[in-house]
């Protein structure tokens, strides 16, 4: 350029979202100072900030962003000439209490990154591509997992959802309304389902199957049947020092029996069922160190290969809890908060994705998972598949969850290859 004259600006290259940088940005939202990790629950401050990031980022990539009636967010690339129902990808931006950085956000970020790559390389898709962020996948605020996808799919009673309460007693209806959603309008969204050709969810691996196989990505075969049960044990609150041992009705003893029974009954189940049962959440009322509890609420999470194996496992645990309750002179009631039947992902779609990945990734391993996903809910309504990104230690639902930067980028490469082939 002549002295004193700036060179003409090069035409702006389409922006490509780097997934690793985007995840670093999201790590600044919802860090939990008490539990460690991240806590982001339906429409709380952290979840709203995550949602704002999604809207801002997708808009800056030139995508059409919208929220559906069920608080799910969607960002669509409607390229010229793209017709018919959309090919959808995505995951969720909410977390478990004190969760890791990737369960959820990795799939949403990778979806946006893959779409930005396809735009930048000049791909001209035959169908719209849509990135979804489903509401309250973990069910941490209202107890019911995959809330947004279950509502969309018409798989949960809307009156029940409106009446769900969080730990402070606030109803889901109120939370939706405060977040700008009309609680009267939630529920089955057949038009949106009909406008979705398929759903491919990318997720950090939960469990450690890919590392020993030496593969950065895997494809899902199935999800264990699983559910959550709320167990309320009522005893008699009293003084820890003044109450004779023989006259106590202490629900904590029953809760302790429930925790031990969950492990023992899962262990005694036929190993082929891959049964597992967990008590990870307990509320003690009133919760004083010098008071015998009046009530204990606990949540039993139970999973196994097949629905009836889960039901049978839960029945055995409940029988143990009832026995322990009778012995202590307490009362127990059990209610089912959620049940998700076993899921088999679409074999034909998974084969197509495997073929699209083969040039760069070779023979991609097919692995089952014990974790629930929105893809599992949608599998009953749409061709659905999942891509997993290697998790070196397998840890998830914990701040220790992780994946290497290289593997995160490999996941975006794989998703990009899959979406290119599917559109």
Q: Which residues bind ligand GLV (CB under 6 A)?
A: 138, 145, 371-372
Number of residues that bind Mn ion (CB under 5 A): 4
Nearer to ligand GLV, 228 or 249 (CB): 228
Per CB under 5 A, the segment of 10-18, 99-107, 155-163, 262-270 that binds Mn ion is 99-107
Omega before residue 92 within 30° of 0, cis:
no
The distance between the two most distant Cα atoms of the chain, rounded to a whole number of Å, is 97
Nearer to ligand GLV, 37 or 145 (CB): 145
5-44 residues in contact with Mn ion (CB under 5 A) are none
227 binds Mn ion (CB under 5 A): no
Identify the residue among 47, 94, 103, 417 touching Mn ion (CB under 5 A): 103
Element (H, E) at 354: helix 347-361
Per CB under 5 A, the segment of 21-29, 324-332, 369-377, 406-414 that binds Mn ion is 369-377
401 binds Mn ion (CB under 5 A): no
Residue 418's binding partner out of Mn ion, ligand GLV, none, with CB under 5 to 8 Å set by partner kind:
none
168-197 residues in contact with Mn ion (CB under 5 A) are none
Q: Shortest approach of ligand GLV to residue 279 CB, angstroms? A: 14
Q: Facing residues of 230 across strands?
A: 299, 335
94 binds Mn ion (CB under 5 A): no
Exposure string over 250-263, b if 16+ CB within 10 A, otherwise e: bbbbbbebbbebbe
Element (H, E) at 24: helix 19-26
Residue with the two structure tokens 């962003």:
65
What secondary structure, in 3-state letters, does 217-274 show?
EEEEEEECEEEEEEEEEECCCEECCCCCHHHCCCHHHHHHHHHHHHHHHHHCCCHHHC
| DSSP single-letter state for residue 294 | S
Q: Shortest approach of ligand GLV to residue 149 CB, angstroms? A: 12
Nearer to ligand GLV, 26 or 115 (CB): 26
Applying CB under 5 A, which residues contact Mn ion? 103-104, 371-372
């Amino acid at each position: 350029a002549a002295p004193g004259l700036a060179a003409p600006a090069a035409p702006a290259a389409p922006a490509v979202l780097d997934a690793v940088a985007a995840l670093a940005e999201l790590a600044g939202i919802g860090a939990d100072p008490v539990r460690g990790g991240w806590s982001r629950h339906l429409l709380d401050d952290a979840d709203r900030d995550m949602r704002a990031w999604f809207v801002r980022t997708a808009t800056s990539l030139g995508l059409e962003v919208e929220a559906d009636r069920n608080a799910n967010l969607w960002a669509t690339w409607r390229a010229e000439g793209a017709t018919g129902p959309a090919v959808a990808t995505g995951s969720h931006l909410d977390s478990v209490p004190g969760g890791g950085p990737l369960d959820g956000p990795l799939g949403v970020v990778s979806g946006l990154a893959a779409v930005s790559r396809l735009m930048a390389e000049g791909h001209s898709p035959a169908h719209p591509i849509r990135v979804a962020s489903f509401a309250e996948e973990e069910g941490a605020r209202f107890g019911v997992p995959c809330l947004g996808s279950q509502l969309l799919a018409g798989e949960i009673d809307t009156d029940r959802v409106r009446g769900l309460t969080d730990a402070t007693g606030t109803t889901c209806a109120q939370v939706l309304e405060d977040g700008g959603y009309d609680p009267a309008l939630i529920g089955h969204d057949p038009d949106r389902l009909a406008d979705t050709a398929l759903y491919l969810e990318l997720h950090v691996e939960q469990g450690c199957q890919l590392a020993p196989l030496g593969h950065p990505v895997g494809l899902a075969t199935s999800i264990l049947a699983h559910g959550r049960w709320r167990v309320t044990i009522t005893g008699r609150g009293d003084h820890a020092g003044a109450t004779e041992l023989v006259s106590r009705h202490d629900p904590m003893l029953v809760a302790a029996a429930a925790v031990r029974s969950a492990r023992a009954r899962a262990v005694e189940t036929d190993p082929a069922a891959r049964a597992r049962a967990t008590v990870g959440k307990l509320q003690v009322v009133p919760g004083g160190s010098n008071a015998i509890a009046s009530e204990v609420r606990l949540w039993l999470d139970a999973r196994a290969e097949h629905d009836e194996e889960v039901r049978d496992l839960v029945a055995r645990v409940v029988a143990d809890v009832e026995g322990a309750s009778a012995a202590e002179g307490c009362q127990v009631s059990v209610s089912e908060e959620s049940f998700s039947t076993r899921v088999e992902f679409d074999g034909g779609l998974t084969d197509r994705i495997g073929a699209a990945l083969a040039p760069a990734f070779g023979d991609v391993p097919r692995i089952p998972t014990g974790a629930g996903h929105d893809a599992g809910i949608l599998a009953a309504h749409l061709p659905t598949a999942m891509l997993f990104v290697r998790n070196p230690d397998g840890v998830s639902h914990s701040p220790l969850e992780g994946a290497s930067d290289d593997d995160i980028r490999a996941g975006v490469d794989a998703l990009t290859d899959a979406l290119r082939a599917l559109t």
